[in-house]
Amino acid sequence: MEDRPSERSLLVGLLLVQVFFGGLGVAAKLVYPHLTPLALALARLVAGAVVLIALERILVRSARPPWRDLGAFALFALLGVVLNIGLYLEGLKRTTATNAILVIATIPAFTLLIAALMGRERASRIQVAGIALSFLGVVGLVFAKGGGIDLSTVTGDLMVLANSLSYSFYLVLSKPYLARYDSTTLVAWVFAFGVLEMAIVGLPDLVGADWAALDRTAWLGFAYVLLLGTVFTYGVNAWVLRHTSASHVANFVYLQPVVGVAAAAWILKEPLTWQILASGFVILGGVTLATSGFRSRRAGKPF
């Protein structure tokens, strides 16, 4: 039987996962002059699938799921990784890393909204107000350009928002299956199907990429996305989830915007205007209200 790791090890793992996830948008920006978002998305899915399948075989070794569940896993792959990663990386190319990082912070609010609309959760008035406030912050962020509206950037913001919506649907719909499957098993199957689905649109870009043209900075960004932003984060996250609740893991997600926005300002020299900062605080404040009480009702249950 696997020994439970120390609380310090779990804490360090949680912190590093959020730090490396937070820097993902900045690293991807360094690769974009040479690789398309679809090529990067497929490469990331392949890397994630390899490590998660290996972890599943080492730690869980579950039997093959029945055929009736494989169709659901394929749907989860479409929502949870293909549209999620694809829309995020496509949107990131069309907006700033700062905007993308702040917009994806709406995922907890979207998740509660969808769960409530589907009758799987009940939202209080405070939580509904938090959802509305977080979306108001997104609207403020979209128009916080300082020099007028840049339609291409707005398109990117909306694509990242759609990524958040897609991932939230995945979280709500996959929850019943986590009562029957280990989280590592479920995510490994999701990534395996995700590689097949993303290959339909991403394989030509990945094969046709001019790899010789990548400079040192692009290679560093590519290595970060695959090794730290995918293999390490998904692997360690799956390991941590075996020893603590998903709600405890979720408490650390708020580190991502802080790390990401700081990295975007430092490495990419993206401006931090008072409108962007104000919108970011509104988004995070709304998400905090929206998730108040929501986590405590599901504490200890995988979501």
Q: What is the pLDDT of residues 272-284, one digit of tens each?
A: 888 888 888 888 8
Give the count of beta carbons closer than 10 Å to the beta carbon of residue 274: 9
Predicted local distance difference test score (pLDDT) of residue 273: 84
pLDDT band at 295, cuts 50/70/90? very low
> In the chain, how long is the greatest CA-to-CA distance?
60
254-270 mean pLDDT? 88
Q: Which residues contact 133 (CB under 8 A, 6 or more apart)?
A: 282, 285, 286, 289, 290
Average pLDDT of every residue of the chain: 85
The winner for highest mean pLDDT among 13-17, 96-100, 200-204 is 200-204
pLDDT band at 117, cuts 50/70/90? confident
213-223 mean pLDDT? 95
| Percent of the chain's residues with pLDDT above 70 | 90
pLDDT-wise least confident of 37-46, 116-125, 188-197 = 116-125
pLDDT at 53 over 80: yes
pLDDT at 252 over 80: no
pLDDT at 300 over 60: no
pLDDT at 208 over 90: yes
Q: Is residue 253, in this structure, part of any structural domain at all?
A: yes
Q: Is residue 1, in this structure, part of any structural domain at all?
A: no
CA atoms within 13 A on the CB side of 6: 3
Q: Which two tokens stand for residue 99?
A: 């905007």
10-19 mean pLDDT? 88
Residue with tokens 């759609």: 162
Decide which of 147 and 263 is more confident: 263
Predicted local distance difference test score (pLDDT) of residue 48: 92
Residue with tokens 């996959």: 174
pLDDT at 131 over 50: yes
Q: Is residue 302, in this structure, part of any structural domain at all?
A: no
pLDDT band at 245, cuts 50/70/90? low
233-251 mean pLDDT? 72
32-48 mean pLDDT? 95
Domain carrying residue 182: 7-297
Amino acid at 127: Q
> Model-level pTM?
0.84
Q: Is residue 179, in this structure, part of any structural domain at all?
A: yes
Predicted local distance difference test score (pLDDT) of residue 31: 96
Q: Answer yes or no: are the C-beta atoms of 244 and 12 closer than 8 Å.
A: no
Q: Report CA 220 to chain centroid distance, whole Å.
A: 21
Q: Is residue 220, in this structure, part of any structural domain at all?
A: yes
pLDDT band at 254, cuts 50/70/90? confident
Q: Is residue 151, in this structure, part of any structural domain at all?
A: yes
pLDDT band at 150, cuts 50/70/90? low
Q: At what angle do helices 7-22 and 24-31 cross, to 10 degrees?
A: 40
CA atoms within 13 A on the CB side of 193: 19
The total of structural domains in the chain comes to: 1
Predicted local distance difference test score (pLDDT) of residue 296: 39
Q: Is residue 100, in this structure, part of any structural domain at all?
A: yes
Predicted local distance difference test score (pLDDT) of residue 151: 66
Q: Is residue 2, in this structure, part of any structural domain at all?
A: no
DSSP state for residue 230 in the 8-state scheme: I
Separation between Cα atoms, residue 298 and residue 221, nearest integer Å: 37
3-state SS class at 34:
coil
